[in-house]
Structures are given as C-alpha cells and as structure tokens.
Amino acid sequence: MKIAFLLRQLALAMALLAAAPAWAESGQVHEYSLDNGMRVIVKEDHRAPVVVSQVWYRIGASYERAGITGISHVLEHMMFKGTEKHGPGEFSRIIAENGGRENAFTSRDYTAYFQQLEKSRLPVALELEADRMRNLLLPEEEFLKEVRVVMEERRLRTEDKPEALTFEQFNATAFLNSPYRNPVIGWMTDLESLNIDDLEDWYRRWYAPNNAILVVVGDVDPDAVAGLAAEHFGPLKAEEVAPPKPRTEVEQKGVRRIQVQAPAEVPYLLLGYKVPVLLTAEESWETYALEVLAGILDGGQSARLSRVLVRDRQLVAEAGAGYDLHNRQQTLFLLDATPAEGVDIDTVEQALRGQIRRLRSEPVSAAELERVKAQVVADRVYQDDSIFYQAMKIGMLESVGLDWRVGEEYVERIQAVTAEQLQAVARKYLIEERLTVARLDPQPMDAEARARARAAQRGGGHGH
Amino acid sequence: MRKYCFLLLGLWAVLPAQAMEPIQHWVTDKGARVYFVPAPELPMVDIRVVFDAGSARDGGHPGLARLTNALLDQGAGDLDADAIAERLESVGARLQTGSRRDMAWVALRSLSSEQHLQPAVEAYRKVIATPQFSEGVFERERRRALVGLQQAQQQPGEVASRAFHTELYGDHPYATPSEGTPESVQALQPGQLRAFHRQYYVARNAVIAIVGDLNRARAEQLAASVSADLPAGEPAPELPVVEDLTAAQTQRIDHPSSQSHILMGQPGMRRGDEDYFALYVGNYVLGGGGLVSRISEEVREKRGLSYSAYSYFMPMARPGPFILGLQTRNEQVDEALQVLRDTLNTFVEQGPTEDEMEAARKHITGGFPLRIDSNSEILEYIAMIGFYGLPLDYLQRFNDRVAAVTRDDVRDAFQRRVRPQRMVTVIVGERPSE
C-alpha cells in the first residue's frame, strides 16, 4: 500500500466539437501525425459530455544531468507563468472560467499538462497549450518566486517526511550512474543554484511539437479533434531533439545498505532489487512475470504480505510490494514495511527476504496465481470508469517510447504468465547481488531531546 | 484527506439531461434507505453502505468507531480474514471500509455478471452484518492502529489537524480525532466494539448507494440482500449543537520540521445550510479555486511563501470546520500568517468583486458535467445526498442556485458567519532560533 504512495511520489503534481455522431463507439482509439512530427491520439468515451486533454512531453527528471536536478519540474511550474499573448496566471484563469480543472505533473520519464472540461470547451485548452509549447516568456521575477514555491514543495513532500526522505536516499544508493538516482523534485542545493538561463535552455531543447504527444479522451469526434490539433499545433516549428545519452546503470556487485537518521516515531524498511523493464528486457515475458510477482506479494488482502506478515505472524503493521514495467530504464522491484509494535527491524527484514526466498524456492500455487489474474481482468474494466486514467495510460506508454497498444495487450500477457516463469524471474532477479536496503532509524522528536542530541554532536565534533 | 473534503464540497450541479439518470430511491423492508443510479455502459457495480457510525458516535472512547469499522472485514460469519479476502479477490472484487466524523462505510466494487457479483455480495453482507470481533484479531488491529497513531505524530500536518479540531470543538464529539489517541485506543475492549456495531450498524441507520450495470429489479434484490442480515434498529440520535467560539486562540506546537503548518478557522456550516451556496461560491473566490483564488494569489503567486494555500468549508451533519491553511518554511511563519489574515479580513469586509463573482459562477456551473462523469463520482454524490437527507433533485437544481448567488449574498453571509477575530490558529513547526 505504501509502495503505491512512493511510486506516486515519483510523479509530482503541480499544481468541441459537435455532439458525437450516433455511430460513435466508446473505446476506439484514433491516431494522427501532424507535419511537424507531433502525435495526436484520440480515444472515444461517450458516457458523459466531458473531455480530458493531455499534452505529454518526453522530458523528465531522468533526462537531467548532475547540478540541474529538478529543472524539468521547475519548468513545469513556469509553464503557468505566461506567454506574449497570456500573462502570468492567465492560463489558469481562462481554464477556470470555462469550468475546467487543470494541473500538470512531472515524473522521471515525462512531463504532462492536462485539462478536464465540458466537451464544447476543448478548443480553449488546445489553443492555450499550443501557445505555451513554443512561446513561453519565462520572466525572471516570476522564476525567483516560483523556485521558492518549489522549495516549499520539496520541504512538504520530502524534507519533513521521514519515509519519503528515506526513499530518496535509498534511491540514490540503489542507482550509481543511472539518472533514476535523482529525485524528481531535485536536490535542494541544485534548486538553489538554478537560474533562468538554465530554464530557457531546457525549454528550447525539449518543448517542441516533435517531442510531444496530445492525448484526448472523451465524448468527441476524433477527426474533429485532429482538425483542431492541426489548426493550433500545426503551425509550430519542430526542433532538433537529441535523444539523451543512455546512462545505463552499471552492474551491481553486491548488497547495498544504508541507514537514514531523522526525527521520527516509527522505523521503516525499504528493499529494492534491480530488474529490467519492457524496454530493456531481453525477454518481455519476464517483465509481466515480475508484475505478477508484485501481485502475489501485495495484490490485496489475500496476498502474501498481508496474509502472512500482517495477520499470521504479526511482524509488520504494513507491508507492500511494487514494480512498474513501463519505466524508460531499468528499475527496482520494491518492498517496504513498517514493523509492528515491539518487533525488531532485523526480524522484519529477515521476514521480507524470507518471502523473496520462498518465491525462488517453491512454485506459486495455482489458486494464488488465478487470484492475481482475476484482479487484473477486473481492474481493466474498473479503469475505464475514469477517462482521465484512460488518457494517462496512453500518454505514459507513448512518452517513454512504447506504443499505446502495449497497454491493450496487458491483460493477455498477464494471463499467459505461468508459475514456472514466476520462479524463473525470482531466481534470476530477486537475488542478493541486486539488492539495496534502507532503514529509517528514528531520532528523538521532542525539542529537549533534540537539543541534547545537538549538544552531544557538537561535543563529539570537537574531538575530530 | 483534504482532497476528500474538496470532493465532498464539489457538489455543484444542473445537469445536462444526458449526463446521469435520475436518482431512484426506496426503502428496504428492514428500513434502509436506498439510492440508485443505473449506469449500464460498463459491466461493473459499485455499492456503498453508509452508517451514521462515525467517530462523532465514539461516546467518550475516541477511536471506537474507527476500530469497529476496521475490524469488519477481519473475520465475519463463518469466514476468517483470509477467507473473506480470497472470496472477494478471486472474482476481482474490491472491498473498502472507512470512517470519518459523521459516517462509517463499507463499499464494494465488482464486475456485474452474476458469477462475479454473487460470491462477492455473499462475503460483503457478512462483513457488514456479522463481524466476529474476536479477541486475537482485536488485539492485532489495535496494535496496528497504535502504530498508525505514532506515524501521525511524525507528520506536522496531522499534528496540526488534531490540535485544530480539539481547539475548535471543545466538548463536542467533533473534537476528538477519528483515529483516537494512544491512551484511548489502548483502553478499548472488544465488547465495546460489539456493542457499537449492534447499536449503529443497523438498517434504519443505513443508507445504501448503488451505481452500475443493474436494472431496478436487480438493484432492489441487491439492496434487500445486503440489508437482510441487519437488525432494523434505530437511527442514531441527533448530535449536540456546536457552540460558536467566543475568543481568538493561538496554539504553537513544537515539531522537528523545516516547515510550519498553519491552520486557522472556526466552525463553518452544515449540510443543507441555508447559507450553503453563498458560502460555497464565496469561498471559491477566497481560497477554493486552486491557483486562481485570492489566498493562493497573495500567498503563493505574489510572494512564493507556500506550495499550497487554501480555504474550504467542510459541511457536516453539524457545522463542520471552515479552514484556512498553508505550510511555509519556519522563518516565514509570521509573514505568511499576516498575509493569510489580511486576505481573509479584506474579503469578509468587502466581499468579492463583480468580476470575481462572474468568474466563480462560470467556473462552478460550467464545470458541472465533470462532477458526475464517472460511476465513482456519482456514487459519492448519491451517498452524500442520501446520508444528509438532501432533496433528490439537489443536483438538478444546483447550477440554478449557484447562478442566483449575488455579490451581496456572499458578503452578507461571510459577515454573519465568519468571525476573523474569534478564530483558532494552530502553528506546528520548529521555532526559528534567535
């Protein structure tokens, strides 16, 4: 459960057309390409007179080099600070007056901007998005305020959250040279030294129609959407977009282990195994098998972590597992846990690793495997209740360089996974040599104890 | 949590005819009130049973309602927690339990075909009506709840929210946190949970909301089946009246965080309040409209003091809180608090401008279709309408009522209802060293 939270942490949120013809069918996907290289993907869903529009850019924290971490996310904030045509904040005001909701989010692999609107307002959103794709002004006085907002955001999301802080340091330990070691929000000192020229440069390099995907889902006529997209985005000039250097993570040579000391009440444990993703795997079935393994461990209350560790042995208050096969680069198969009251964190680590050992040593039962698959089949239906999520799925895949059809195959590929394959990937990837462990070691919370600790530290410091 | 509050507040309306079928309403033989909206497009069903069994019913044992709710699916009828989870998950069903101050609920999402829905409902009705509350399970879940309380102590926002409610509500049942306190949770006994369940998880204290791929006959069957094992019982009594604050109070709590969390406010309004629309539209201008509100403009856009600065009313059975909040680096507390107070004072004195009113009305009415564009959102609304006894045409009339709110209505309502000089202010963070 907590893993879901951590995975979300990786993505930071900031802040039409004629009625569909009677023959229109929900669920159909239509693809278009503009002459400047921009892709347009439209999916029909006629359940309600609404539309979601998302512009995805192939740029995120994993494109950033040392010293400018967090720049993609700061630029996302600056995208609301005005163009020639529309002053700072104007974008948000116009969307609001049209009854819309809007926001944006940055992750390791992409940055996306979205509006949710009554369907007749779609042109408003497309015009504004096209305008800020190439015409952002980036006023320095706005930047100086906004970067302070982002620092507050960093304090809120990471600095003052002991578990998030542990995750950040864990991640930077697990990856040596892969850009996945950097937090999406950036290191504080990088934010402090960021300047407007850095942002100008970043914006010119990545914000171009040939590096963007427009995804529209809702009660729309796809050809009419394509027409609007051509009208607004068509005139924009393409840019030379150099693909980022590969920065493939070096092979890990043994367990890595860190301790994070922070004021806290409750210890916390994180384990991560280096595993391939769909884009890097030699055999794609391996990644679907890893998805199923995460389900065997954490796919509901009947899954192993909840059943064995929470309820039966009562060693943990919470435990979770997670993996995302759609990342752009090699990623981590994650486990985390909060010890139950009075249970030693060593015991908890042994128990989690015991669960991993069991995946290696014995085949998963048919009933467990069927339960994971039944949930995946049902989730596929539930997901369609949200047009926003339907658009997300398409955009996430396309922005990392996978085809949106990969999402359509997901259920089938999961259903094909066998118990032998589960054991094979567990034996190949969930092994010591690929493991990183982090522990949160709680430090006193109250003011007096903190003062004593500081004094002791200072005292100790003189000796060195 | 706050996101959820916004969701409940986001109850604006007037529907385009095709967006949502009218709400159907009936009462089961046992006396549970049912609210149903057919949604045949996707082969799935959502059902949520809501009881007037939130922490306002804790009766001097903070945490009782929450722990009772948390134990429902940990053993019921002849099934233990493993068996319940297996039955639901082997057909892909999702069970969710939860509770807040006013209410406690048990929700089920399932595929609508009979071979999926039927086994899921079998387990679901046991969870609602015949939980076991066995000693061993009770002890385990209480220990987990205590860890949760310790974790809450790590979070300045949680610490602030708990202190804020305590100050705001004094002796009223809304004062205590739904999760309870370490002492109160430590003192709970399984017998208390059984008694709480017997009194409050009863048909006449329940609202059943159903949305999905069902016809009326199947929905009636479903509602009858999930309430069949419940005793009729009695509706919960009315909650006590909330007293107005008589003086300003400020509380500073030390916390080892780089930011201070500030919460300021007073008791606000109840569901169905006569000033609901004026306060709701007015608050959109003041601090409810994301980046375009006055508070966000003054605190974040102009000064870069906070990532999130907002205000909202949380309407409840009795007046829920009116809250203004932000988080800022410890050294900026005084400045940020001053800006927040000035913004509120100016707004209460002068009210919104005509332009702001126009923008607010356009946003709220123009965005109406978004509020009911999914089964899960429709479920949320009809459960709320049913629980608080709002009229069935509440959604249909909503946009007209929003459109009718004038600038004077807003200023008048804020001046009568909001008292900036008698607010509770809670600041949680590390005091900057001199």
Q: Is B90 inside a domain boundary?
A: yes
Q: Tell me how far apart the alpha carbons of residues B273 and B282 are, in angstroms, rounded to a whole number.
A: 14
B224 plus B267 within the same structural domain = no
The residues, ordered by sequence, that sit 6+ positions from A167 with a Cβ below 8 Å of its Cβ are A6, A9, A270, A438
Per-residue confidence (pLDDT) for residue A1, from 0 to 100: 41
Per-residue confidence (pLDDT) for residue A462, from 0 to 100: 44
Q: Strands of A50-57's sheet, edge to edge?
A: A12-13, A101-106, A111-118, A50-57, A212-218, A39-44, A29-33
Q: Tell me how far apart the alpha carbons of residues A132 and A57 are, in angstroms, rounded to a whole number.
A: 12
User: Closest-CA residue in chain B for A299?
Assistant: B89
Q: How far is B213 from chain A (nearest CA, A)?
A: 12
Q: Is B397 inside a domain boundary?
A: yes
Give the nearest partner residue to B304 out of A146, A303, A382, using CB atoms: A146
Per-residue confidence (pLDDT) for residue A14, from 0 to 100: 47
Q: Tell me how far apart the alpha carbons of residues A113 and A92 are, in angstroms, rounded to a whole number.
A: 12
B366 in contact with A, Cβ within 8 Å: yes
The answer to whether domain A2-233 has CATH 3.30.360.10 is no
Chain A residues with CB under 8 Å of B375 CB are 385
Q: Is B7 inside a domain boundary?
A: no
* SS3 per residue for chain A: CHHHHHHHHCCEECCCCCCCCCCCCCCCEEEEECCCCCEEEEEECCCCCEEEEEEEECCCHHHCCCCCCCHHHHHHHHCCCCECCCCCCHHHHHHHHCCCEEEEEECCCCEEEEEEEEHHHHHHHHHHHHHHHHCECCCHHHHHHHHHHHHHHHHHHHHCCHHHHHHHHHHHHHCCCCHHHCCCCCCHHHHHHCCHHHHHHHHHHHCCHHHEEEEEEECCCHHHHHHHHHHHHCCCCCCCCCCCCCCCCCCCCCCEEEEEEEECCCCEEEEEEEECCCCCCCCHHHHHHHHHHHHHHHCCCCCHHHHHHHHHCCCEEEEEEECCCCCCCCEEEEEEEEECCCCCHHHHHHHHHHHHHHHHHCCCCHHHHHHHHHHHHHHHHHHCCCHHHHHHHHHHHHHHCCCCHHHHHHHHHHHCCCHHHHHHHHHHHCCHHHEEEEEEEEECCCHHHHHHHHHHHHHHHHCC
- Which phi and psi (to 5°) does residue A129 adopt? -65, -40
Domain hosting B292: range is 249-429
- Helix/strand/coil for B337: helix
B298 plus B210 within the same structural domain = no
Q: Is B434 inside a domain boundary?
A: no
Q: How far is A192 from chain B (nearest CA, A)?
A: 14
Q: Is B138 inside a domain boundary?
A: yes
Q: Tell me how far apart the alpha carbons of residues B263 and B250 are, in angstroms, rounded to a whole number.
A: 10
B44 plus B82 within the same structural domain = yes
Q: Answer yes or no: are the C-beta atoms of A239 and A211 closer than 8 Å.
A: yes
Instruction: Name residue, tokens 């239509």.
Output: A30
Q: How far is A93 from chain B (nearest CA, A)?
A: 6
B33 plus B125 within the same structural domain = yes
**Strands A212-218 and A39-44, how do they pair?**
parallel
Q: What is the CATH number of the domain that holds B275?
A: 3.30.830.10
- What does the pLDDT look like over B329-357, one tens digit per residue? 999 999 999 999 999 999 999 999 999 99
Q: What number of other Cβ atoms are within 10 A of residue B17's Cβ?
A: 9
Q: Which of B228, B263, B294 is the last residue of a domain?
A: B228
B216 in contact with A, Cβ within 8 Å: no
Q: Is B3 inside a domain boundary?
A: no
Which of A390, A385, A384 lies closest to A54 in space, CA to CA?
A390
CA angle A447, A449, A451 (to 5 degrees): 70
Q: Answer yes or no: are the C-beta atoms of B126 and B77 closer than 8 Å.
A: yes
B97 in contact with A, Cβ within 8 Å: no
- Which phi and psi (to 5°) does residue B248 adopt? -70, 145
**Strands A268-275 and B424-429, how do they pair?**
unpaired
B109 in contact with A, Cβ within 8 Å: yes
| Whole-angstrom Cα Rg for chain B | 22
Q: How far is B221 from chain A (nearest CA, A)?
A: 23
Q: Do B362 and A97 touch (CB under 8 A)?
A: yes
Which of A47, B158, A117, B216 lies closest to A126 in space, CA to CA?
A117
Could you tell me if residue A257 is left (phi over 0), alpha (psi between -120 and 50 degrees) or otherwise beta? beta
Q: Do B81 and A311 touch (CB under 8 A)?
A: yes
pLDDT tens by residue, chain A, 464 residues: 445 444 444 555 444 333 334 345 678 999 999 999 999 999 999 999 999 999 999 999 999 999 999 999 999 999 999 999 999 999 999 999 999 999 999 999 999 999 999 999 999 999 999 999 999 999 999 999 999 999 999 999 999 999 999 999 999 999 999 999 999 999 999 999 999 999 999 999 999 999 999 999 999 999 999 999 999 999 999 999 998 999 999 999 999 999 999 999 999 999 999 999 999 999 999 999 999 999 999 999 999 999 999 999 999 999 999 999 999 999 999 999 999 999 999 999 999 999 999 999 999 999 999 999 999 999 999 999 999 999 999 999 999 999 999 999 999 999 999 999 999 999 999 999 999 999 999 999 988 887 777 777 665 444 44
Give the nearest partner residue to A15 out of B18, B148, B290, using CB atoms: B290
Q: Is B15 inside a domain boundary?
A: no
Q: Answer yes or no: are the C-beta atoms of A362 and A356 closer than 8 Å.
A: no
Chain B residues with CB under 8 Å of A382 CB are 44, 94, 109
Chain A residues with CB under 8 Å of B365 CB are 99
Is residue A182 exposed (0-12), middle (13-18) or buried (19+ Cβ within 10 Å)? buried
Q: What is the CATH number of domain A265-430?
A: 3.30.830.10
- Which phi and psi (to 5°) does residue A220 adopt? -130, 160
Q: Is B236 inside a domain boundary?
A: no
Q: Which of B228, B261, B285 is the last residue of a domain?
A: B228
Q: Tell me how far apart the alpha carbons of residues A138 and A383 are, in angstroms, rounded to a whole number.
A: 37
Q: Tell me how far apart the alpha carbons of residues A51 and A424 are, in angstroms, rounded to a whole number.
A: 44
Q: What number of other Cβ atoms are within 10 A of residue B308's Cβ?
A: 17
Per-residue confidence (pLDDT) for residue B289, from 0 to 100: 83
Q: Do A101 and B367 touch (CB under 8 A)?
A: yes
Give the nearest partner residue to A118 out of B89, B259, B367, using CB atoms: B367
**Number of domains chain B contains:** 2
Per-residue confidence (pLDDT) for residue A27, from 0 to 100: 86
Q: Where are the domains of chain A?
A: 2-233, 265-430
B268 plus B142 within the same structural domain = no
Residues of A forming the active site: 76
Q: Tell me how far apart the alpha carbons of residues B178 and B182 are, in angstroms, rounded to a whole number.
A: 12
Given a cut of 70, the residues of chain B with pLDDT beneath it are 1-19, 434
Per-residue confidence (pLDDT) for residue A24, from 0 to 100: 52
Task: Note whether A2-233 and A265-430 share their fold.
Answer: yes
Its ipTM equals 0.94
B378 in contact with A, Cβ within 8 Å: no
Q: Tell me how far apart the alpha carbons of residues B144 and B67 are, in angstroms, rounded to a whole number.
A: 10
Tokens of residue B379, six digits: 């479920």
Q: Do B43 and A446 touch (CB under 8 A)?
A: no
Q: Do B366 and A97 touch (CB under 8 A)?
A: yes
Q: How far is A134 from chain B (nearest CA, A)?
A: 23
B218 plus B263 within the same structural domain = no
